[in-house]
Amino acid sequence: MKLPSDLEPARAATRREFFRRSGLGLGSIALQSLLSGGSHSAEPDYRIPAKAKSVIYLHMAGSPSQLELFEHKPALQKFHGQDCPQEYLKGKRFAFIRGTPKMLAPQFAYRQHGEAGQWISEVMPRLSTVIDDVCVIRSMHTDQFNHSPAQLLLQTGNSLPGSPGMGSWINYGIGSDSDDLPGFVVLASGGKTPSAGKSLWGSGFLPTVYQGVQCRTDGGDPILYLSNPSGLTRRTRRKTLDALRDLNTFQHRQVGDPETLARIAQYELAFRMQMSVPEIMDIHREPKHILDLYGASPGHVSAAESAADPRVLYKGNDATFANNCLLARRLVENGVRFVQLYDWGWDHHGSSPGESLDQTLPIKCQQIDQAVTGLLTDLKQRGLLEETLVVWGGEFGRTPMMQNNVNKVLKKGFVGRDHHPYAFSMWMAGGGIRPGAYGQTDDIGYYITENPVGIRDLQATILHQLGIDPHRFHFSWQGLDQRLIGPTADGQIITDILA
């Protein structure tokens, strides 16, 4: 039966077409949200009063030894060189230890510092001068003992790839404080990216506009492909983007893919970043006394950043990490919500040159000690430390016994420890965190004896300080309400360390 011509449009209005057209209005709303920095137009139900506005997360990729930095264990000196008791080996899985290893004493001397008398190793002399601003958590633990899954669990809440990074979650949850800069920026040093790669700052199942933007520190453009090609003016670029926006808008009307909206928002942000990023990333603008405070050196490019094995080229006066710390302050000062600094080279197994506790660890500490201390000092003197949460640590700890799969006896330049998930140290400062020490381990630093803190507890606390209820904060995907802290009630706010 042929319908009258005025009713023909009704035939075309299939169920699929109806829902496609119905989604256009929502798509426009979503695009406006993305273009305005990703923040939600109405106050979400997961928002709570915030103590911090931004986070600077310093991830020492490979995991520094807590026993050489923050865990003073005199008893371990007494057992040095003896066979490890079987009670610490039976039923345990290690990444590299085989058979019965020897116990290994701390390689450096400790002293107490600050009003609370916190024990700090001699290889971090400058950090010891600001330790009264720091909360050292000595009772961290994880259920992963290999780098990639441990890094993923810590940074994405899932030991498998595919979930959003912590910075992406936070960028999605509260948006950027700047219209011209991304909400999540990543800086790397040490010559390599972490074992888990760029999955650590990916957006996972969130729109890609929330992923981390990696800035380079190798002397080239801060962000790849941000500059206009030779001969292309900014006005021409604007025309090009206008045409792309129209094409992508048409594409979205036809298909309804929300990633098309994210693509439009990314192009627009990149256009604005062409003006803002070069200025923010130029640390030549800082006065000499600030550069000296961090140990920063504008224009410095380390040979280790492009070496096949950067560890053999490490030097204590390498300013790459110091430059990144100064950049981190400039970024949060200008509204970036989450700045992630990855520093590679903290995996001190002692199996080969460049990965020893006795020789390489002091070099790595020298690279970061002044920079981290300068960062805390600079944030504090600018009144930014109260609203900036600084987090420092690796993905797990190191064993109280030596690693023995290559060397059965101690040898200079080849002293190392294996991965240890049962107890390790991290620290936090600023952002409403109470300074001091939290948690305890046993006499040799193997097990936690007081106030254990899991990965999900750390994540919950970071979200809480930023004004996000970690239990209500979620994103619906694949029929589940996905959360950074996972689906269970494991993640609890560490209330004892809150100011």
Q: Which domains does the chain have, with CATH numbers?
A: 49-119+140-222+281-473+480-497 (3.40.720)
pLDDT at 25 over 60: no
Average pLDDT for 202-218: 88
Split at pLDDT 50, 70, 90, the class of 19 is very low
Query: Nearest-CA neighbor of 239 among 278, 215, 266, 271?
Result: 271
pLDDT class for 281, splitting at 50, 70, 90? Answer: confident
pLDDT digits (tens, 9 = 90+) for 432-484: 999 999 999 999 999 999 999 999 999 999 999 999 999 999 999 999 999 99
pLDDT at 361: 98
Element of type H or E holding 342: strand 338-344
Buried b (16+ CB within 10 A) or exposed e, 462-488: bbbbbbbbbbebbbeeeeeebbbbbee
Q: Give the angle subtended at the CA of 486 by the CAs of 482 and 490, to the nearest 5°.
A: 150
Q: Nearest 5°: CA angle at 455, between 330 and 447? A: 125
Over residues 377-406, mean pLDDT: 97
SS3 476: strand
Report residue 19 as tokens. Answer: 């829902």
Q: Quick check: 417 pLDDT over 70?
A: yes
Neighbours of 221 (CB within 10 A): 14
pLDDT band at 243 (very low <50, low <70, confident <90, very high): confident
Q: Which of 34-43, 171-180, 209-218 has the lowest mean pLDDT?
A: 34-43
CB-CB contact of 188 with 178 (8 Å): no
Query: In which band, very low, low, confident or very high, does the pLDDT at 223 lie, cut at 50, 70 and 90?
Result: low
Buried b (16+ CB within 10 A) or exposed e, 417-451: bbbbbbbbbbbbbbbbbebbbbbebeebbbebeee
Are the C-beta atoms of residues 445 and 399 closer than 8 Å to each other? no
Residue 409 DSSP code: S
Give me the sign of the Cα torsion angle 314, 316, 318, 324: positive
Lookup: tokens for 371: 């920079």
Distance separating alpha carbons of residues 362 and 121, to the nearest angstrom: 10
| Residue, of 107 and 40, whose pLDDT is higher | 107
Closest by CA to 327, choosing from 378, 386, 266, is 378
Long-range CB contacts (< 8 A, 24+ apart) of 247-256?
252/24, 252/27, 253/24, 256/20, 256/23, 256/24, 256/27
pLDDT at position 251? 73
Mean pLDDT of all residues belonging to the chain: 88
Q: What's the CA gap between 407 and 390, in Å, rounded? A: 37
> Does the pLDDT of residue 94 top 70, yes or no?
yes
Both tokens assigned to 344: 């590679």
Stretch 296-305: mean pLDDT? 92
Written as one letter, the residue type at 15 is R
Q: What is the mean pLDDT of residues 414-440?
A: 98
Higher pLDDT, 41 or 400: 400
- Give the pLDDT score at 353: 86
Per-residue confidence band for 215, with pLDDT thresholds at 50, 70 and 90: confident
Q: Residue 426's pLDDT is what?
A: 98
Does residue 316 surpass a pLDDT of 80?
yes
Q: Which has the higher per-residue pLDDT, 268 or 90?
A: 90
Residue 9: per-residue pLDDT: 43
Q: What is the mean predicted confidence (pLDDT) over 97-102?
A: 96
